[in-house]
Amino acid sequence: MNNTLKNQVCNLSPGTEIQGKWHNVHYKILEKLGVGATGVVYLVQLVNGTLAALKISFSNMSVTAEVNVLKKLSQVKDKVLGPRLLDVDDWSYGSHALSFYVMEYVKGQPLLSFISTRGTEWLQVFASQLLTDLENLHEEGWVFGDLKPENLVVTSNPVKVRWIDVGGTTLQGRSIKEFTDFYDRAHWGLGSRKAEPTYDLFAVSMVLIHAAYGKRINKTDKPAEQLKRFILTTKQLEPFGNVLYQAVTGKYKSAKEMKTEVLSVEKRRGAKSKGTKPQNVRQPSAPRVKVKKKRSHVLETLLLCTSVMLIYILYLFIQVL
């Protein structure tokens, strides 16, 4: 696809109708959801009102690869590892035949936006959820590859982080086909671009760092040393700094191992919080104070009466004399 055509495809107006050449299904564009290295994704509406995500590919090879990944992931029993594939077709755009596929629209709030409004305390929850999904993905022989906040949304009821673009998903053992520098370990000099579980664990750590710190950090001339120092000294990353450090340096070999450490840190935090909780100081009860005050008043009255009586007796004695 040449640049002129790519520019047109990436800027289709809301209301544009896309009709599948082979399945004859009509899709109306509502808005653009995003643009990636392999294509552009639009939010579309079917005739019956159903919403879906439609991706127009920049090349036939990439659409075939991504569709195959979605098909494979959908075959995994009792596990949701990506959006459901709904349709694959071509669209006649002028003299061009553009390949596209349609998938489930995962409605949610972008990860960084959610953390910004709801707080970083959610990061431990999302880290655990994300690592569980990656563990399942790795067991099926795949690596997600291009893991970044733009590919993650937080759904509600229940609150859960989900990935929405499998364009970078690669079979283990091959070279990562799609990546973003900040989340790529090779960019930081901390590993290769070989598709293996540790590649995804590095990316998870960078996503958490970005979300907790609020922005990306610029790479220096000693990136590996810079990243390690940043993780271990940045307050926003406490108390998970050591876990992140172990992940970016490749110490965890599986998502399950890293998840266990994340949960362990959270458990220790909870125990420490309970252990340092201030104890209630016992205060004197109100009734005791009142009783004490009451006894004091009685004694004062008794002494006063005695004094008056003694004075009266002394007065009578003087009168008799």
**Which residues face 162 on adjacent strands?**
153
From the candidates 87, 89, 90, 146, which is the catalytic residue? 146
Rg (CA), the chain: 34
For strand 170-171 and strand 51-57, is the pairing parallel, antiparallel, or unpaired?
unpaired
- Cβ–Cβ under 8 Å, residues 29 and 46: no
Which is nearest to 146 in space by CA: 225, 189, 202, 100? 202
Please check if 55 is assigned to a binding site: yes
Q: Among residues 21, 27, 16, which one has the least CA distance to residue 54?
A: 27
Tracing tokens 């004399």 back to the chain, one arrives at: 321
Alpha carbon 278 to chain centroid, angstroms: 32
Measuring CA to CA, how many Å separate 173 from each of 69, 145, 252, 278? 16, 12, 18, 53
Q: Tokens representing 278?
A: 């201030």
Is the distance from CB of 99 to CB of 90 less than 8 angstroms? yes
- 146 noted as active-site residue: yes
**Residue environment code for 106-142, b if the CB has 16+ CB neighbours within 10 A, otherwise e:** bebbebbebbeeeeeebbbebbbbbbebbbbbbeeeb
Contact 119, 82 (CB under 8 A): no
Find the DSSP H helices in the chain: 3-9, 60-74, 111-118, 123-139, 197-213, 223-233, 241-248, 255-275, 286-320
Rounded Cα distance, 81 and 83, in Å: 7
Q: Which residues are catalytic?
A: 146
Q: Binding site residues for ATP, as ranges? A: 55
- Which residues are annotated binding-site positions? 55
